[in-house]
Amino acid sequence: MRSRSYKGYGKKEDGLRMKLLNDLIHAVRKNDAPVRDVRVGITWTGVWGKRCGLGRTYASPATAHATVKGFGKLTEMTTLELAEYARSWHLVEAAIGVAAINSMIKPKGKRGLNALDFLIREGKNKKITVVGAFPRLSELREVSKELWVLELDPNLVNPREGILPATAAEHKIPRSDLVAITGSAIVNKSLEHLLELSKDAYTLVLGPSTPMSDVLFDYEADMLAGVDVVKPAQIMMKISQSGGMVSPKNCRGEIEFVVMEK
């Protein structure tokens, strides 16, 4: 099936600024499939085509009143057409696009491994920057030489606890030995720049939004830690019922952790 730029997405001027997205969409194009289902939940968004992919939902009062393009007809599209939504600055649309990209990737790598265990083990006496709030930060803080957590939500910033605004990335990431970036950064378009800043550190991209694609290794990622949705129907139902964290605890037997190294 042939992809098209949907209602303005993928314009030349956007493409110049979104090389990572361009390369990801190009890499998955052969795995295009009809869209079986789309679910947008409070926390996660799912697209189910041949496979099921996830993307982080960044909802806000502004997006709540902004209509998603083509709503009500998304299942009449293909996953490659929906992938173009990843370019949108309407972040709910972008989550749909990222989920569509992930639905066209069959994750490969080691299964059942928890990247947070790796981070804690390898983070001993290291300077670490974490982009996004992950579980077990207290354990990581105990073993690290220094730990900085970069947070988009200004209400969560607490410099005394090492929780800094996202704008500190330019200052802290280049000084780090180890960097962990939430895969959700691809939804808000910050991932490519964050990977550029972390090129001299060992860098992990982790979380359900993470595209499990070799393309990210070309952009200086060293490890990818995402998920494989093995029971799409169950996961899509949980998303539509406002399920929270996508984890083995909440989704027992429905997802598997997958880890790839460069």
pLDDT-based confidence at residue 9 (cuts at 50, 70, 90): very low
The whole-number average pLDDT for the span 61-73 is: 81
Whether 150 shows a pLDDT value over 60: the answer reads: yes
How does pLDDT run across 199-232, given as a tens digit for each residue?
999 999 999 999 999 999 999 999 999 999 999 9
Tokens of 230: 């093995």
What is the pLDDT, as a whole number, of residue 153?
Answer: 82
Largest CA distance in the chain: 53
Which domains, ranges and CATH numbers included, belong to the chain? 12-106+230-251 (3.30.390), 110-227 (3.40.50.11590)
Give the angle subtended at the CA of 261 by the CAs of 253 and 238, to the nearest 5°: 25
Alpha carbon 219 to its chain centroid, in Å, reads: 15
